[in-house]
């Protein structure tokens, strides 16, 4: 209503903004085109694998009635964490008024958008009947709210997506118009998004920990553990992205946010390890049949050991990364390769721990104590890698669109 100052109405300027963004997102160096072509190719392989899965039934996966969730749900769970992890930029920027972080906070918000899109894709990939997806839509389908935790997850994930799309979209649009963003239109949403980020991972943990028949998941520590590990994997991914953005695009002012995030991981990675240790103590000291799944995960059960190498790899990566983060030298610019290594280790370690390392032992032994092992099929890997490629495409394009904002922040 107070838009009398603008010479152009939003009806004509918004499409221009979208067009301009699209144009900008598809401009780049040879390296950029090569990167996007590679991601497209990988995504197409995944799309084809998924289409085959839908046409031929989920028999193409290696899931069974005993292990009825696998690689897709493992990645879904991890991705929710990645989406929530971006909030570790938002909190310093908006609650602690860290100016440098504020200038580049959009990176975390755009990561949330890409990660949530991947979450939704992993859920759809896991559905036996994606053609009946509309049954899940409130109003036209039959939404089992509030009893089913999955309906809560549908709400919080889509809500988080919309929140972040709005915040990023508004800031970029204002930038395009050359106007100062009006805090009324985005700061309240940012505050909501902070609480919302916590909620997406809490609700996702509740999906599992509310099931009495699955002792491995049935622990009150699951949601706090999810959050702690999310605040490792999210910042780790963002640090590496920032180092790349700095090197490839010349955006300045990233070093201080990198240092802040490094200091955050330094704490969260230890909290996560503490919680894992606490969980393991309770399991193994108590003993009994409750511990079977943990035994299977760490040492194998009745000669079945498929997950053992994965778990110990994760433990090794997480502990090594934790030690590297504790070393003060990691903050210096000289040691950037080491910081990248530490971030990669923490990222992969969390991916194993919260992915396969969490989902699969929930099913082994089964509720009737059968031990049926699970190793993802080639089709599952193709679909999974395809979704990752798509997510990286979204993230790349989003960052490119945001480059003018990142290069010259409006104060």
Partner 1 sequence: METSKPSLPIVENFSRRAAVKGGFATLGAAAFVAAVSPLRQAAKNTTAAEFMQQHYTELSPEQKSDVIARLETEAKEKHGVDVHISDDRPIPGTKFVYAINLSVCNGNGKCVEACHKENNHDRTTNQSYIRVIEMPKGTMDMEQGSTTYTGAVPKDDKFYLPVQCQQCDEPPCVDVCPVKATWKEEDGIVVVDYNWCIGCRYCEAACPYHARRFNWKEPEVPAEEINPDQGYLSNRVRPVGVVEKCTYCLHRTRKGKLPACLEACPTGARVFGNILDKDSNIRWILENKRVYILKEELGTKPAFFYYFD
Binding site for partner 1 (CB under 8 A): 26, 40, 44-45, 47-48, 50-52, 54-59, 61, 63-66, 68-69, 123, 126-133, 135-136, 141-144, 147-151, 154, 207-208, 211-214, 289, 292, 362-363, 365-370
Question: 80 and 64 in contact (C-beta within 8 Å)?
Answer: no
Q: Which residue number, 116 or 123, has a Cβ lying nearer to partner 1?
A: 123
Q: How far is the CB of 224 from partner 1 (least distance, A)?
A: 21
Closest by CA position to 402, among listed 17, 15, 21, 10: 21
Q: Which is nearer to partner 1, 103 or 373 (CB)?
A: 373
Task: State the minimum distance, in angstroms, from the CB of residue 264 to partner 1.
Answer: 33
Task: Give the DSSP H or E segment for 60.
Answer: none
Cβ closest to partner 1, residue 40 vs residue 158: 40
Least CB distance to partner 1 at residue 175 (A): 15
CA trace torsion 313, 319, 320, 322 (10° rounding)? 140
Q: Quick one: 168 or 301, whose CB is closer to partner 1? A: 301
- Give min distance, CB of 306 to partner 1, in A: 18
> Phi/psi class of residue 251: alpha, beta or left (left: φ > 0; alpha: ψ in -120 to 50)?
beta
Q: How far is CA 192 from CA 112, 160, 216, 227, 228, in A?
A: 14, 9, 32, 17, 20
State the greatest distance between any 2 C-alpha atoms of the chain, in Å, as a whole number: 75
Q: Which of 281, 346, 353, 282 is nearest to 318 (CA)?
A: 346
Give SS3 for 219.
coil
Rounded least distance, CB 205 to partner 1, Å = 14
Q: List C-alpha distances in Å: 31 to 23, 34, 38.
A: 17, 5, 10
The residue (of 369 and 407) whose beta carbon lies closer to partner 1 is 369
**151 vs 282, beta carbon nearer partner 1:** 151
| In the complex, minimum distance from the CB of residue 372 to partner 1, in angstroms, rounded to a whole number | 10
Shortest distance, CB of residue 145 to partner 1, whole angstroms?
Answer: 9
Decide whether 25 or 232 has the Cβ nearer to partner 1: 25
Instruction: Compare residues 85 and 365 and give the one whose CB is closer to partner 1.
Output: 365
Q: Supply the minimum distance, in Å, between the C-beta of residue 225 and partner 1.
A: 19
301 has which bridge partners? 304
Is the distance from CB of 394 to CB of 117 less than 8 angstroms? yes
**Ranges of H-type helices in 178-306:** 187-209, 222-249, 255-286, 292-299
CA distance to 70, 100, 110, 203, 406, per residue, from 162 (Å):
28, 25, 12, 17, 22
Cα–Cα nearest to 228, from 268, 201, 199, 196: 268
């Amino acid at each position: 209503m107070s838009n009398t100052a603008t010479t152009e109405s939003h009806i004509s300027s918004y499409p221009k903004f979208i067009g301009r963004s699209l144009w900008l997102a598809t401009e780049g160096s040879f390296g950029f085109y090569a990167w996007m072509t590679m991601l497209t190719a990988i995504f197409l392989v995944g799309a084809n694998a998924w289409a085959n899965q839908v046409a031929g039934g989920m028999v193409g996966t290696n899931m069974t009635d005993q292990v009825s969730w696998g690689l897709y749900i493992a990645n879904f769970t991890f991705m929710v964490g990645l989406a929530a992890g971006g909030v570790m930029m938002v909190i310093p920027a908006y609650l602690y008024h860290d100016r440098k972080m504020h200038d580049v906070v959009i990176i975390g918000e755009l990561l949330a958008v890409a990660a949530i899109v991947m979450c939704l894709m992993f859920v759809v990939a896991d559905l036996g009947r994606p053609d009946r997806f509309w049954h899940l839509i409130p109003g036209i389908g039959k939404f089992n709210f509030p009893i089913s935790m999955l309906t809560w997850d549908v709400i919080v994930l889509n809500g988080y997506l919309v929140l972040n799309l709005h915040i990023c979209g508004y800031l970029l649009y204002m930038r395009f118009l050359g106007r100062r963003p009006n805090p009324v239109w985005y700061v309240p949403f940012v505050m909501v998004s902070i609480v919302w980020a916590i909620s997406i991972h809490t609700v996702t943990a509740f999906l599992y920990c509310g099931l009495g028949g699955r002792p491995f998941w049935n622990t009150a520590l699951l949601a706090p553990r999810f959050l702690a590990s999310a605040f490792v994997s999210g910042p780790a991914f963002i640090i590496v992205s920032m180092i790349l953005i700095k090197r490839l695009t010349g955006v300045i002012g990233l070093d201080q946010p990198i240092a802040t995030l490094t200091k955050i991981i330094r704490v969260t990675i230890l909290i996560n390890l503490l919680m894992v240790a606490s969980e393991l103590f309770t399991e193994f000291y108590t003993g009994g049949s409750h511990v079977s799944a943990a035994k299977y995960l760490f040492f194998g059960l009745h000669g079945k050991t498929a997950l053992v190498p994965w778990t110990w790899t994760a433990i090794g990566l997480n502990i090594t990364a934790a030690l590297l983060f504790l070393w003060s030298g990691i903050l210096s610019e000289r040691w950037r390769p080491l910081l990248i290594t530490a971030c990669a280790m923490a990222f992969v370690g969390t991916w194993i721990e919260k992915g396969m390392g969490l989902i699969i032992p929930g099913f082994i032994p089964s509720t009737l104590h059968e031990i049926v092992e699970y190793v993802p099929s080639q089709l599952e890997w193709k679909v999974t890698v395809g979704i990752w490629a798509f997510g990286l495409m979204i993230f790349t394009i989003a960052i490119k669109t945001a480059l003018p904002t990142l290069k010259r922040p409006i104060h």
